[in-house]
């Protein structure tokens, strides 16, 4: 079994971006990310800390705008986004989810200019990725992180059986499309899939993004499979664990991601990649694919 080291691979992305962003600065282009947070959700605050640290490391300017839930509604949030869309010094806009229930999140997300949509959540950017890998400009950061891990470890995708467990808009659906764009035969499982193990056992590449600790056990995995665990859960001892029973599955897998230390770090690195690419798109420069 080989460990897929998210920290190591994220560092290679940071090293590349540091050089690329330093080069932009010599042309007086200073990539800037604005993060909007409504409320003080503990997990969101922790994710935002990581994102801002990554920005600092790569030379991206980051700004955090926070609102108390009672002082914001859908319309005022959309007005703020329109202001940021029109601001030429802002290259990336990220609205941290979840938003409070009284805010209509889909309308807020829709207001983000697709060129500044560094989460890759707008219909325009999601629609573009349906065309082919060449049209993937700003794609959701977590599936992009998985692709970067597979690329780093030189794991072939073309012609392989890929099984995606989880069909969310954030991870499962875009991940399935990205694997299909790279010519895998893709199966997407959801919470109503009757015999999950029958599907997962087919996988050469198994990606799991459900949010259920211990969902995937060794007997559900084919010998030699590549297993990517996107899940982040807290177990009874308060320890971070994924959706995959790591001990059990690592006896079967050829490659496996740990939690923590796998996909989470890659997501943040790929957000910075998207901020860089968004900046290039806005300056009508060609985004680098790697």
Residue numbers annotated as active site: 51, 96, 119
Comparing CB distances to ligand GUN, the nearer of 117 and 204 is 117
In angstroms, what is the minimal distance from the CB of 167 to ligand GUN?
16
Burial of 83 (0-12, 13-18, 19+ CB in 10 A): exposed
Interface with ligand GUN (CB under 6 A) = 47, 94-97, 119, 141
In angstroms, what is the minimal distance from the CB of 41 to ligand GUN?
9
In angstroms, what is the minimal distance from the CB of 44 to ligand GUN?
6
Comparing CB distances to ligand GUN, the nearer of 47 and 246 is 47
Helices (H), the chain: 6-26, 42-58, 74-86, 105-111, 123-129, 141-152, 172-181, 196-200, 246-250, 263-282
Rounded distance between C-alpha atoms, residue 92 and residue 32, angstroms = 6
Q: Which residue number places its CB atom closest to ligand GUN?
A: 97
Comparing CB distances to ligand GUN, the nearer of 95 and 129 is 95
CB 90 within 8 A of CB 35: no
In angstroms, what is the minimal distance from the CB of 225 to ligand GUN?
26
Q: Which residues contact 170 (CB under 8 A, 6 or more apart)?
A: 121, 140, 142
Comparing CB distances to ligand GUN, the nearer of 178 and 203 is 178
Rounded distance between C-alpha atoms, residue 208 and residue 193, angstroms = 14
As a dihedral over the C-alpha atoms of residue 258, residue 141, residue 185, residue 209, rounded to 10 degrees, the angle is 50
Comparing CB distances to ligand GUN, the nearer of 209 and 225 is 209
Q: Which residues contact 129 (CB under 8 A, 6 or more apart)?
A: 120, 135, 136, 139, 174, 177, 178, 181
Burial of 282 (0-12, 13-18, 19+ CB in 10 A): middle
In angstroms, what is the minimal distance from the CB of 263 to ligand GUN?
11
């Amino acid at each position: 079994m080989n460990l897929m080291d998210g920290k190591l691979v994220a560092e290679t992305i940071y090293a590349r971006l540091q050089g690329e962003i330093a080069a932009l600065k010599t042309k007086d282009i200073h990539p800037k990310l604005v993060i909007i947070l409504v409320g003080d959700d503990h997990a969101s605050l922790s994710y935002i800390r990581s994102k801002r640290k990554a920005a600092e490391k790569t030379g991206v300017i980051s700004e955090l705008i926070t609102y108390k839930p009672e002082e914001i509604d859908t319309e005022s949030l959309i007005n703020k986004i329109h202001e940021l869309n029109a601001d030429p010094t802002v290259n990336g806009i990220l609205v941290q989810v979840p938003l409070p229930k009284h805010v209509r999140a889909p309308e807020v997300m829709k207001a983000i200019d697709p060129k500044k949509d560094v989460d890759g959540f707008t219909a325009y950017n999601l629609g573009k990725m349906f065309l082919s890998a060449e049209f993937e400009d700003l794609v959701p950061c977590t599936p992009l992180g998985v692709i970067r891990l597979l690329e780093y470890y030189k794991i072939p995708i073309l012609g392989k059986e890929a099984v995606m467990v989880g069909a969310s808009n954030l991870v499962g659906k875009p991940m399935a499309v990205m694997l299909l764009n790279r010519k895998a035969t893709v199966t997407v499982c959801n919470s109503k899939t009757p015999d999950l193990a029958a599907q997962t056992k087919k996988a050469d590449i198994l990606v799991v993004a459900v949010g259920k600790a211990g969902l995937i056990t060794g007997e559900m995995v084919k010998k030699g499979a590549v297993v990517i665990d996107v899940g982040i859960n807290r177990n009874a001892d308060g320890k971070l664990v994924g959706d995959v029973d790591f001990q059990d599955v690592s006896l079967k897998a050829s490659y496996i991601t740990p939690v923590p230390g796998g996909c989470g770090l890659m997501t943040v690195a790929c957000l910075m990649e998207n901020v860089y690419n968004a900046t290039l798109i806005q300056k009508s420069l060609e985004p680098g694919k790697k």
